[in-house]
Amino acid sequence: MFWLKTTVASDNAYLLAENGVIFNKAKTVLLGYLPGKPDASYTVPASVTKLGEASLSNIPALTSVTLPNGLKTIASYVFDDCPNLTTLVLPSSLEFIGDFSMTNLKVSSMVVPENIKVLNNYFLSYCPELTSVELPSTLTEMWGEVLAGNPKLKTVKCKAVNPPVIKGNAFKNTPIGSTTTLRVPAGSKALYQAAEGWKDFGTIEEY
């Protein structure tokens, strides 16, 4: 496979290019990662606070992406369809995650950091190797199919004392009724057993 390198004129007032990656001029927003770029790993620069929409989508070569502590926003479709991406850790600085942000990845686990209040549509869906997910105590809402189509998902740990409101079929085609265990804070089991979407788990345990 070949890839086309790109350049941005040094006097461009809006854009900056570095080794096949496009940023805004201040290098705080990553706007695009060129398709066909052969590198297996990529470290997002420390100055970046936002990953722009679809900025790293459909990159089969990527197996590992390192995100900076200081990143605040992952826009929609950022890691959509990166089928070989196995290593991705979300930093504690993160405040917002958009729709379809992490679909069809090869990750086996994911920890969603504190401060995240809403998980949007198709957040971490159709990841065939995903076995465990940890959700933060700050989570209040989950939209459509946020954890759908994850056939190997064994454990969902939700640290929220009160069950987040589920608006849509969050766990569609994920075996929550049979092989997936939900772990919740001590004293919260009855709340989850009564909550729409959560009550469908066959096994709910307190920790």
Same domain, 188 and 206: yes
Same domain, 68 and 146: no
Same domain, 47 and 101: yes
Same domain, 90 and 139: no
Overall average pLDDT of the 143-168 stretch: 97
What is the predicted pLDDT for the residue at 2? 41
Same domain, 89 and 52: yes
Same domain, 70 and 144: no
Closest CA to 18 of 29, 4, 28, 8: 8
DSSP classification of residue 112: P
d(CA 39, CA 42): 7
d(CA 158, CA 42): 30
d(CA 69, CA 128): 27
Supply the CATH number for residue 90's domain: 3.80.10.10
Closest CA to 139 of 117, 113, 115: 117
Same domain, 159 and 90: no
* 0.85 exceeded by pTM: yes
pLDDT digits (tens, 9 = 90+) for 21-38: 999 999 999 999 998 899
- On the question of pLDDT at 4 being above 60, the answer is no
CA distances from residue 114 to 5, 95, 129 in whole angstroms, order as listed: 38, 8, 24
Overall average pLDDT of the 72-97 stretch: 98
What is the predicted pLDDT for the residue at 9? 72
Q: Is residue 4 part of a domain?
A: no
- On the question of pLDDT at 47 being above 90, the answer is yes
Domain that holds residue 77: 13-107
In contact, 142 and 170? CB cutoff 8 Å: yes
Overall average pLDDT of the 4-14 stretch: 71
Overall average pLDDT of the 160-188 stretch: 97
